Amino acid sequence: MSALGGIVGVILAMLASLGLAKVMQVPYIFDPGINLLSFLFSAAIGVLFGYFPARRAARLDPIEALRHE
């Protein structure tokens, strides 16, 4: 899910940059390194914030976990 969000974010940022470059009459320079870094950061955030709560939930007793809901 976070990887999909990263892809959508990179695409939206690229489209916004293309539009701004045209309006400001400056050249658009695509840097794959920066785009890859932003995608990896987005994916890493999703993995980290999904892994730790899932690990904690896996350690709970199912009966106790459902009792507190």
Q: Whole-prediction pTM value?
A: 0.67
Q: What is the dihedral of CA 11, 28, 38, 9, to 10 degrees?
A: -20
- Greater confidence (65 vs 5) lies with 5
Cα separation of 28 and 18, whole Å?
6
Cα separation of 7 and 65, whole Å?
35
* Domain boundaries, position 33: 2-67
Provide the number of structural domains found in the chain.
Answer: 1
What is the pLDDT at residue 16? 95
pLDDT, tens only, 29-64: 989 999 999 899 988 998 899 898 889 888 888 887
